[in-house]
Structure 1
Amino acid sequence: MSASFGAANTAVFTDPKLQFQGSHGLRPSASAHQLRRGSGLPPCSSNTSVVSAISTPVKPDTSSAPKRSKVEIFKEQSNFLRYPLNEELQTEAPNINEAATQLIKFHGSYQQANRDDRGPGGKSYQFMLRTKNPCGRVPNKLYLVMDDLADEFGIGTLRLTTRQTFQLHGILKKDLKTVMGTIIRSMGSTLGACGDLNRNVLAPAAPFVRKDYLFAQETADNIASLLTPQSGAYYDLWVDGEKIMSAEPPEVVDARNDNSHGTNFPNSPEPIYGTQFLPRKFKIAVTVPGDNSVDILTNDIGVVVVSDSDGDPHGFNIYVGGGMGRTHRIDSTFPRLSEPLGYVPKEDILYAVKAIVVTQRENGRRDDRKYSRMKYLISEWGIEKFRSVVEQYYGKKFEPFHELPEWEFKSYLGWHEQGNGAMFCGLHVDNGRIGGTMKQALRQIIEQYNLNVRLTPNQNIILCDIRRSWRRPITMALAQAGLLHPRYVDPLNITAMACPALPLCPLAITEAERGIPAILKRIRAVFEKVGLNYKESVVIRVTGCPNGCARPYMAELGLVGDGPNSFQIWLGGTPNQTTLAKCFMNKVKVHDLEKILEPLFYNWKRKRQRGESFGEFTTRMGIEKLQEIVEKWEGPVKATSQFSLKLFADKETYEAMDELAKHQNKNAHQLALEVIRNFVAAQENGKAE
């Protein structure tokens, strides 16, 4: 593409009747190599001839043109994500048209309608905004601004996502520019948080002052910068062209501009993405060996820091091909774990990542969005062919994958040393939803102590840079707001996750976030009935549809929306998030869950091997055997109730406490521990006075 493809040719983009030819943007199945072959240039030549867009008749000859989804047409005709979004934002209507709805995703927003509020006036339109926070980093100023925006323009809550970002729900179209501009001017961004491009780059949220963690987080920042859209449309629309950006590291600029292996569109406003960006969303995570807080194997690209014996990073292992989304009862769609691609020295990581992205850009399917993720390309080609093509864009051979230790899920909840004299405190947030008293308390603490914040991939929040002298007053303030130390939180809740689902997500088939509190209480009751210890837990994830936003296919027990008030049940994930679950049953009504779970948990308790998790047990038993167990279930031989915390003298006391707890949306154990803790705190305060 030529550089003149910008302002001078705006009319070409803004006339929806015009089509284009001659650039990759219109011929997604034709690779850069194929285009160069047509010009007589070698496949990886950097001296690529400039190709300009040419307007053509309304009904061109398309007999040989590859089939493309209409989203590809929207992207192509958008003038790099401007048209018709800009025009639609200026209308009085509460919503925007189909093309603009697709384009605003790239800017970090989804148009939604409240499915609980469908009155005679039609749909209740609103917008969700998602921020982009590499590594989950949130500066103090940005947190306070997001807190204010949630109250002034949203529904009064902040939501933490499974990709270390914020979501604001309930923004009206007339307020979008104000909210977006405020975020941008407050050290934040929403650019690329949604859409067909690289999404937020994950990294361990823990603010450890360690070489490997710091290097992983720095690398995540650099990858995020490398793959951020460059055309300026984002700033044109939301802050009237004002460029509010920090300077990029020179290595990022060099990697983006390098075209020595035919990766770029020369003279294009988008040298990596071109006019059509990627076939579908693209997810990247960076971590250190052993730390699987980021669900590394579920990403399109997983990057792992490799250090020498002195702890100095010297390179990276790279995984490729993970992804969660699927479609019910279409077996050609599936969740997939990534697999090893190879090792690169640390100075090459940006070039290697870029080469992988370009391979997907050139070869990923653009005709059917169900199959557009990179996992399907790798499944079709196999890893050897995929590696070979990536190496052409990388310009080198990948070195052999380095051996890694076992992965371990790390939540980073509770109090920890940072390594520089300060401390951090990880707080569990049920389903990532911050509101009410919790929201007020966090605001007060973060503002009073001028704390920076990190968001985790498990929808939790970390308060950073806490002086030791602040630990006690902060602990007391958190406890009073219901933000408990993890040892006081039900173990089932600690690892549970759910997507927002109803009422706002248009894809939701059934409840997830609103339904999971009751589901977890019912599962706890089943645990008690079959005699499982209170401290035992199972990784539970619930989604309202099969797209897998809460990564249910990695859960030991995954519940996936499969119709009104019904779920598919998936079993077999592992606590360290390294094994895919398998579909166990379809269309199980939510009120029938106990009929399925009681025999499964009872047999796990009775027949598990030493140290065997629920997911490992179900995998060893196999789907058919488990189905037989459920079908023949007539109840436990002797149902028992165990109150293993020994907080209750008898069953009557427990039941009275349980009844009181239900009114506070808690369980008996939580309430009892809160009473004890508050009593102790009151005693200590009395002594101090």
Structure 2
Amino acid sequence: MEERIYFSEDEDLKARSRYLRGTIEESLADPATGAVSPEDAKLLKFHGTYLQDDRDLRNERQRQKLEPAYGFMVRVRMPGGVCTPGQWLQLDELARRYGQGSLRITTRQTFQFHGVVKRHLKATIAGINHALLNTIAACGDVNRNVVCHNNPYLSPLHGELYDWSRRLSTHLLPKTRAYHEIWLDEERVAGTPAEEEPLYGRHYLPRKFKIGIALLPHNDIDVYAQDLGFIAIADRDTLLGFNIAVGGGMGMSHNEPSTYPRLGEVIGFCRPDRLLDVAEKVLGVQRDFGDRSNRKHARLKYTLDDRGTDWFKAELETRLGWALEAARPFRFESTGDRFGWIRDGRGHWHLTLGILSGRLRDTPETSWLTGLREIAAIHEGDFRLTANQNLIIARISDAARPKIDALLDRYRIPDAERWSGLRRNALSCVALPTCGLAMAESERWLPTLLARLEPLFKNAGLEKDAITLRVTGCPNGCARPHLGEIGLVGKSLGRYNLYLGAGFDGSRLNALYREGLSEDEIVEVLSPMIAHYARERRTAESFGDFVIRAGYVSEAGRGREFQQRR
């Protein structure tokens, strides 16, 4: 790999971190603060954890001359979103002991713990490893958790694709032993040869890198939002290969036209046995040509737009030593999950539960954590997290189904089949109080927003119609807001930019409609639009298609055009 000149402070930090060691152990041992040094906070991301603080308490603690209420978000690496009942029980115990009694399912098919204090951080990460899971590369400038189509009842191909997600995740892991030394007490043997990162090098990637595997006709992982997307092409139950999409990403910054969300574009097809080679070489191109001077311009999407897709494909094929085949025809139909009980061809039952914002905790209304702990104690199949923040209890026998039904009733687990179409297709990020980037509420606000919007759809006769709603507290895009037919992106406390018109199948971005709206203004703006849609929509016309046809917004521009069009 050619050595280059790097400019940003982050690049210098990575290069001198001794392969992600930094002074993390010294920071963890410092009893004078609940934080770690700013440099170590950046390096900890590669280990799967972010330093945060409780922003609800900031002002009062500042008044009392106390440091912020620091805590850590810890993210599990769980390719394909699959865990065993035993692993579930161990993660549940860690959540109750160290994670404020809460687990959260993310939009990348994994779990996050929130509010882990520094003195418990090592025990939490070691406990995750004890469950035969880990947190390495769940964050940071590396390939992150690989997401995968996760509805096993839809196709017997699922097992094959899940296996590819695991192989991709393992193949692209950093090789440093720093993680094992810091969290698992592995001793470093004196005199051993210096470490190397044969894939990443001393500087790792310019920014994060995300991979997803989709299975037609369900785009339930939003494959076009990935840096690298693989779209499985099959002939009945035989996997033929993958169409390859590159350059997706949702993040942007308000009022900075040089930043924008972008959809991945399909550049060709490869056979299954070439999947790992393609992934490694795509990552390598981004490693060598991504922008390392400006982190806001460092994702693969900008490399593609700066240099051109034709250049990228030529560079990729040069590294592969073979040409990609022409992309195969394909068509997506939806992006959501199918809820309720489904029986597969082998006689197993699968239950998909709707979990608003993916948050699992016990409340007076629903004992999520306790109920699922009781289910895990008797379940003989597995659990599968979805990229839409929902949960599949998979491979349930005829004999076990009544027992699980009884536990669902006992702990008041809601039946998502009774939810409105809007609620079933709603996503949100965490935002306040823990995310340091949040400009507005998201997860905590979503129930209030739904309570105000659902009556509008019900009165219009649209209660069960599937409409995608995505809410984020800032423009970084964790809940993929620009793929929502209705997208709300926090701009300041209580104020949101409203985007409309994404494709229901995830193949079109939405476009800015109004800026800086309050909750009341959002309801006021959407109310006549929803009634208009109910009156004049065409047969099978989605809300996203309608608002473009009716002239509320123009179809979103691609790439650099996104922030300049309405």
TM-score range, shorter chain: over 0.9
Corresponding position of 2:434: 504
Distance, in Å, in 2 between the alignment partners of 1:489 and 1:525 is 12
From 134, 156, 159, the equivalent of 2:104 is 159
Structural RMSD (CA): 1.9
Instruction: Tell whether 2:111 aligns with 1:111.
Output: no
1: distance between equivalents of 2:485 and 2:305? 24
Q: Return the alpha-carbon distance in structure 2 between the equivalents of residues 105 and 540 of structure 1.
A: 29
Q: Given residue 530 of structure 2, which amino acid in structure 1 is its aligned partner?
A: F
Structure 2 CA distance for partners of 1:385 and 1:543, relative to 1, 3 Å: same
Secondary structure of residue in 2 paired with 1:104: helix
**Equivalent residues in 2 for 1:60-209 (5 A)?**
65-66=5-6, 68-92=7-31, 93-118=33-58, 119=61, 120=64, 121-208=66-153
Q: Say if 2:221 and 2:387, in contact at 8 Å, map to a contact too.
A: yes
Aligned residue among 266, 274, 281 for 1:348: 274
Partner in structure 2 of residue 522 of structure 1: 452
Quick one: structure 1 residues 608 and 211, their matched pair in 2 at CA, closer, same or farther if it must change by over 3 Å? closer
1:495 aligns to what?
A: 425
Partner of 2:166: 221
Residue 625 of structure 1 and its aligned partner are, at CA, apart by: 8.8
CA apart distance, 1:104: 0.3
Tell me whether 1:513 sits opposite 2:443 in the alignment. yes
Q: Work out whether residues 407 and 578 of structure 1, in 8 Å CA contact, stay in contact via their aligned partners in 2.
A: no
Is this contact kept in 1: 2:512–2:553, CA < 8 A? no
Asked if residue 315 in structure 1 is aligned to residue 260 in structure 2, the reply is no
The aligned counterpart of 2:478 is 549
Query: Which SS does the other structure have where 1:117 is aligned?
Result: helix
Whether 1:453 and 2:383 are equivalent positions in the alignment is yes
SS of structure 2 residue aligned to 1:127: strand
CA pair 535-291 structure 1, distance change in 2 beyond 3 A: closer
User: 1:355-366 alignment to 2 at 5 Å?
Assistant: 355-366=281-292
1:468 pairs, out of 398, 411, 414, with 398
Matches within 5 A, 1:361-440: 361-436=287-362, 437-440=367-370
Q: Could you give the per-residue CA deviations for residues 602-630 of structure 1, whole angstroms, max 9, x where no partner exists?
A: 2112222222111111121234699xxxx
Rounded Cα–Cα distance in structure 1 between residues aligned with 2:294 and 2:182: 30
Using the alignment, how far apart are the partners of 2:443 and 2:336 within structure 1?
Answer: 22
Work out which of the residue numbers 186, 199, 211 in structure 2 matches 1:272.
199
Which residue is equivalent to 2:216? 289
Aligned residues of 1:211 and 1:312 also touching (Cα < 8 A): no
Mapped partners of 1:533, 1:557: distance in 2: 15
Quick one: which amino acid aligns to residue 386 of structure 1?
Answer: F
* One-letter amino acid of the structure 1 residue matched with residue 18 of structure 2: N
Q: CA deviation at 1:417?
A: 2.2
CA deviation map 1:477-513 (0-9, x unaligned): 2133232333222322111011000000000000000
Q: Judge conservation of contact 1:301–1:322 (CA < 8 Å) in 2.
A: yes
Kindly state the Cα deviation for residue 299 of structure 1 after the two structures are TM-superposed.
0.3
Q: Is the 8 A contact 1:159 1:433 kept in 2?
A: yes
Task: Output the TM-score relative to the length of structure 2.
Answer: 0.92
In the alignment, residue 383 of structure 2 is paired with which amino acid?
V
Residue 211 of structure 1 and its aligned partner are, at CA, apart by 4.6
Q: Structure 2 vs 1, CA of residues 479 and 575 (structure 1 numbering), >3 Å: closer, same or farther?
A: farther
* RCO comparison, higher one (Cα < 8 Å, 6+): 2
In structure 2, the CA distance between the partners of 1:393 and 1:516, relative to structure 1 (3 Å rule), is same
Instruction: Give the SS at the match of 2:351.
Output: strand
Q: Distance in 1 between the 2:411 and 2:542 partners? A: 33
Q: Distance in 2 between matches of 1:143 and 1:548?
A: 28
* Distance (whole Å) between structure 1 residues aligned to residue 386 and residue 334 of structure 2: 15
> How many residues of Structure 1 are paired with residues of Structure 2 in the alignment?
541
Structure 1 length-normalised TM: 0.76
Q: Give deviations 1:399-441, integer Å, cap 9, x for gaps.
A: 1111113343341321122443321111111110011112111
Q: Structure 2: how far apart are the matches of 1:408 and 1:586?
A: 28
Cα distance change of structure 1 residues 112 and 496 upon mapping to structure 2, 3 Å threshold: same
Cα separation, partners in 2 of 1:224 and 1:242, compared to 1, 3 Å: farther
Indicate if the aligned counterparts of 1:298 and 1:338 stay in contact, CA closer than 8 A.
Answer: yes
Residue 677 of structure 1 is matched in structure 2 by none
Task: Tell which deviates more after alignment, 191-200 or 601-610.
Answer: 601-610
Q: CA deviation at 1:336?
A: 0.6
Superposition deviation, residue 311 in structure 1: 2.7
Cα displacement string for residues 123-153 of structure 1 (whole angstroms, at most 9, x for unaligned residues): 1100010001111011222111111111111
Instruction: Give the distance between the partners of 1:354 and 1:517, measured in 2 at CA.
Output: 41
What SS does structure 2 have at the residue aligned with 1:501? Answer: coil
In the other structure, the counterpart of 1:302 is: 229
- 1:624/1:495 Cα in 2 relative to 1: closer, same or farther (>3 Å)? closer
* Cα displacement (A) at 1:217: 1.1
CA drift of 1:455 comes to: 0.5
Larger CA Rg, structure 1 vs 2: 1
Q: Distance in 1 between matches of 2:551 and 2:141?
A: 37
Identity %: 34
SS of match in other structure, 1:468: coil
Amino acid at match of 1:83: G
Q: How many Å apart are 1:210 and its aligned residue?
A: 4.7
Give the distance between the partners of 1:447 and 1:242, measured in 2 at CA. 36
For the 8 Å contact 1:364–1:374, the answer to whether it is kept is yes
Deviation by residue 1:612-650 (Cα, 9 ceiling, x = unmatched):
111111121234699xxxxxxxxxxxxxxxxxxxxxxxx
Aligned residue type for 2:122: K
Q: Which SS does the other structure have where 2:464 is aligned? A: coil
Contact 1:209-1:419 at 8 Å conserved across structures: no
- Describe the superposition over 1:570-603 as per-residue Cα deviations: whole angstroms up to 9, x where unpaired: 0001222221100111101123222211121121
Partner SS, residue 562 of structure 1: strand
Instruction: Report the equivalent of 2:497.
Output: 568
Distance 1:267 1:208, change over 3 A: farther
How far off is 1:268 after superposition?
Answer: 5.3
Contact between 1:133 and 1:165, CA under 8 Å: does it hold in 2?
yes
C-alpha displacement of 1:242? 7.5
Could you say what secondary structure the match of 2:55 adopts? Answer: coil
Output the amino acid matched with 1:79.
R
**C-alpha offsets along residues 170-192 of structure 1, whole Å, 9 cap, x if unaligned?**
10111111111111111111111
The one-letter code sitting in structure 2 at the alignment partner of 1:86 is E
Pairwise CA distance, 1:346: 1.5
AA in 1 matched with 2:255: R
Would the alpha carbon gap of residues 403 and 533 (structure 1) be closer, same or farther in structure 2, given more than 3 Å must change? closer
Q: Which secondary structure does the structure 2 equivalent of 1:105 belong to?
A: helix
Q: Secondary structure at the match of 2:492?
A: coil
Tell me the CA shift for residue 565 of structure 1: 0.4
Question: Residue 73 and residue 621 in structure 1: after superposition, are their counterparts in 2 closer, same or farther (change >3 A)?
Answer: same
**Contact 2:511 2:554 (C-alpha < 8 Å) held by counterparts:** no
For 1:406 and 1:300, the matched residues in 2 are separated by 19
Aligned-pair CA distance for 1:465:
2.0
8 Å CA contact 2:85–2:379 kept in 1: the answer is no
Partner Cα distance (2:88, 2:411) in 1: 18
2:357 alignment partner, SS class: helix
**Structure 2 CA distance for partners of 1:85 and 1:498, relative to 1, 3 Å:** same
Amino acid at match of 2:257: D
* Code of the aligned partner of 2:513: F
